[in-house]
Amino acid sequence: MKRYIFVTFCISILVSLLLVACDRDKKKGGENTEVEDTPLEAPAFDADSAFYFVKAQTDFGPRVPNTEAHRQCAAYLKSKLAEFCDTVIAQEFTATAFDGTKLQSCNLIGSFAPENPVRIVLASHWDSRPWANADPDEGNQKKAIDGANDGASGVGVLLEMARQLSLKHPTIGVDIVFFDVEDYGSDGQSDSWGLGSQYWSKHPHREGYHAAYGMLLDMVGAPGARFRYEQISATYARSTLTHVWNIAERLGYGGTFVAEAAHPITDDHYYVNTIAGIPMIDIIHQDDNTGTGFPATWHTMNDNIDHIDKNTLAIVGKTLLCVIYNEK
Ligand code: AHN
Ligand code: ZN
């Protein structure tokens, strides 16, 4: 008799578990498993703080490798990561540029819960371009840029995210990687860009390092920025791409994260996908109306703090924090 009661008990538990599972599948419905009616609540993200982190970088001046501003900014970023993250690693190396110049370079990696095998990686480049070669004024084209949008904006958003993650720990492990020497490239020589990410992908900061997926930020600070489906991301990390864009849509940011195809860009994520084998998306501002494919200030002297919009920084930061806090 006791045995009969026990078996009945087990069967009823199994049946109720099955019912719960069916119900969840029904709620998800059809092919687009993520479109839910309930809007999400955006996590705390302080846009003023993010803006401040962007300005702190541009205040050093252009962060061109082999310069004092570059060295000072590396020390600043390392100290900020140490303040917010559980561990920080500075990965120093010498890169060889397309023109043979040896560049003293440094990738910086801040980690939350480094022992957790379930983790994701967030990245941005922290160096700035030595030449404003897309500037309409020829006299400017050999000058170095502030890179407020191209470089500092992504790092600023990630530092504010790190500050928020330190206040409210996520369930998963998170690595924040600031790649160096992304922007010392030459047009037409695709592997001359992303030297820091090429190095990290071949020599990750921990042996056997892996992450479930990654998100790269590039030029996430312009007013009215639009992020579309960059095509290398679509090839290597399609499900992450649609997942992030769905979360943005549910937060009400569908006008910024636009679910439309854009062009492929050989950015840092290309090497993380093809060499490190981590599916990584690129959240990058492309613009078909400027003639360069990028925002109007791209690789010009106008890429400075006056053209950074706190609202864009906030949309990106809140979306990514929402992605992270919804992981189990
Ligand atoms: C290429 O033009 C091949 N890569 C550009 C990636 C980039 C430069 N992102 C920001 N600056
Ligand atoms: Zn650039």
Pocket flag, ligand 1, residue 116 (CB < 6 Å): no
Pocket flag, ligand 1, residue 183 (CB < 6 Å): yes
**pLDDT (tens digit, 9 = 90+) per residue, 215-260?**
999 999 999 999 999 999 999 999 999 999 999 999 999 999 999 9
Q: Which pLDDT score is estimated for 36? A: 63
Ligand 2 center–CA 128 separation, angstroms: 7
Nearest in space to 132 (alpha carbons), one of 147, 149, 154: 147
**Which ligand 1 atom is at minimum distance from the Cα of 267?**
6
**Which ligand 1 atom is at minimum distance from the Cα of 284?**
9
How many CB atoms within 10 Å of residue 63?
Answer: 31
**Which ligand 1 atom is at minimum distance from the Cα of 219?**
10
Pocket flag, ligand 1, residue 74 (CB < 6 Å): no
Where are the chain's structural domains? 3-325
Ligand 1 center–CA 152 separation, angstroms: 14
> What are the backbone angles phi and psi of residue 185, rounded to the nearest 5°?
-90, 170
Of all residues in the chain, the percent with pLDDT exceeding 70 is 89
Ligand 1 center–CA 265 separation, angstroms: 7
For residues 65 and 93, what is the distance between their CA atoms, to the nearest angstrom?
A: 12
Pocket flag, ligand 1, residue 176 (CB < 6 Å): no
| Contacts (Cβ under 8 Å, ≥6 apart) of 220 | 149, 153, 154, 157, 227, 283, 285, 312, 313, 316
- What is the three-class DSSP state of 276? helix
| In the chain, beta strands by DSSP E | 87-96, 102-112, 119-125, 173-179, 214-218, 227-229, 257-261, 280-284
Q: Rounded mean pLDDT of the chain?
A: 92
Whether the per-residue pLDDT at 93 is higher than 80: the answer is yes
Pocket flag, ligand 1, residue 193 (CB < 6 Å): yes
Q: What is each CA distance from 287 to 150, 188, 295, 298, in whole angstroms?
A: 14, 20, 6, 10
The pairing of strands 257-261 and 227-229 is parallel
Which residues are paired to 207 by β-bridges?
Answer: none
Which residues are paired to 124 by β-bridges?
Answer: 178
Ligand 2 center–CA 39 separation, angstroms: 35
Pocket flag, ligand 1, residue 218 (CB < 6 Å): yes
Pocket flag, ligand 1, residue 303 (CB < 6 Å): no
Pocket flag, ligand 1, residue 267 (CB < 6 Å): yes
Which residues are paired to 125 by β-bridges?
Answer: 179
Q: Which pLDDT score is estimated for 21? A: 42
**pLDDT-based confidence at residue 192 (cuts at 50, 70, 90):** very high
Residue bearing tokens 């009823």:
12
Residue bearing tokens 């490239």:
185
**pLDDT-based confidence at residue 38 (cuts at 50, 70, 90):** confident
Pocket flag, ligand 1, residue 266 (CB < 6 Å): yes
CATH 1.10.630.10, domain 3-325, yes or no: no
Whether the per-residue pLDDT at 29 is higher than 50: the answer is no
**pLDDT (tens digit, 9 = 90+) per residue, 143-164?**
999 999 999 999 999 999 999 9
**Angle, helix 68-84 to helix 47-58, in steps of 10 degrees:** 150
Residue bearing tokens 């010392």:
184
143 token code pair = 């000058």
Residue type, 113: A
177: which DSSP letter? E
Helices (H), 40-182: 47-58, 68-84, 154-167
CB 309 within 8 A of CB 148: no
Whether the per-residue pLDDT at 287 is higher than 90: the answer is yes
Q: Which pLDDT score is estimated for 33? A: 53
